[in-house]
Copies of this chain bind each other. A is one copy, B any other.
Amino acid sequence: MSLRYALLALLNVEPMTGYDLYKQFESSVGYVWHAPDSQIYPELRRMERDGLLVGEEVAWGTKGRKRQYHVTDAGREAFRAWVNTQLDYPRERDPMHLKAAYLEWANPESARNQLQAHVEHYGARLIQWQQKIQEIDGGTSDMLNRRLATVPAHDHSRVAAFKRFTYEGLTARAESEIAWARRGLKLLDELYGDPQELQE
């Protein structure tokens, strides 16, 4: 149900087509929320049906057509209501931690590779999210600048602060995951012997 609000958040800044939104989810915004186009188009239809959006047919080339969606007052209201609503947390279900509990079944190299992949996965995320923070601080964030253009100047620092806060949380999580996986690698060394030492 969050896809709907991720879409509203983007469309609040400016009207877009389904394809525009898909591109956003594929790039920068996708580091916080992702969705495939096959999910976006039907959801936009449903949102229009529910009165949160209005679609406007726009010419594209000579014969082409595209549908640009504008947020309605009801849409803005729905978004505001969502932001003010307590969300319910799903039950615990994390494949990597489940697997970690049974790593004694794995052979040591495989365990090592998987923890190494964990480090690399969150390492890549970490860099992306840190980059976002730098863009926010440096005022070079395209998305943020367009958003800021729609709010009065004295609210700018506030808007930017929450964006930064979001990425701070994501980087903290990534760092925590990396630290955990590194501890796991050390644990493997202790239990099975350090492969570096064995080579010497």
Q: Per a CB cutoff under 8 Å, which of B94, B107, B166, B187 touches A97?
A: B166
Number of copies: 2
Count of chain A residues with a beta carbon within 8 Å of a chain B beta carbon: 64
Q: Per a CB cutoff under 8 Å, which of B82, B89, B104, B176 touches A121?
A: B89
Residues in B with CB closer than 8 Å to A162 are: 100-104, 187
Q: Per a CB cutoff under 8 Å, which of B30, B83, B94 touches A92?
A: B30
A113 interface residue per 8 A CB criterion: yes
Task: Check A104–B32 contact: CB distance below 8 A.
Answer: no
Task: Check A83–B103 contact: CB distance below 8 A.
Answer: yes
A86 interface residue per 8 A CB criterion: yes
Q: Nearest Cβ distance between residue A41 and chain B, in whole angstroms?
A: 18
Among A16-24, A48-56, A59-67, A178-186, the stretch that binds chain B is A178-186
A127 interface residue per 8 A CB criterion: no
Could you jot down 11 A-B contacts, CB within 8 Å?
A9-B101, A32-B98, A35-B93, A79-B102, A80-B106, A83-B102, A101-B166, A103-B165, A104-B162, A165-B183, A169-B177
- A residues contacting B by CB (< 8 A) are 2, 5-6, 9, 30-35, 79-80, 82-84, 86-87, 89, 91-107, 110, 113-114, 117, 121, 125, 151, 155, 158-159, 161-163, 165-166, 168-170, 172-173, 175-177, 179-180, 183-184, 187, 191
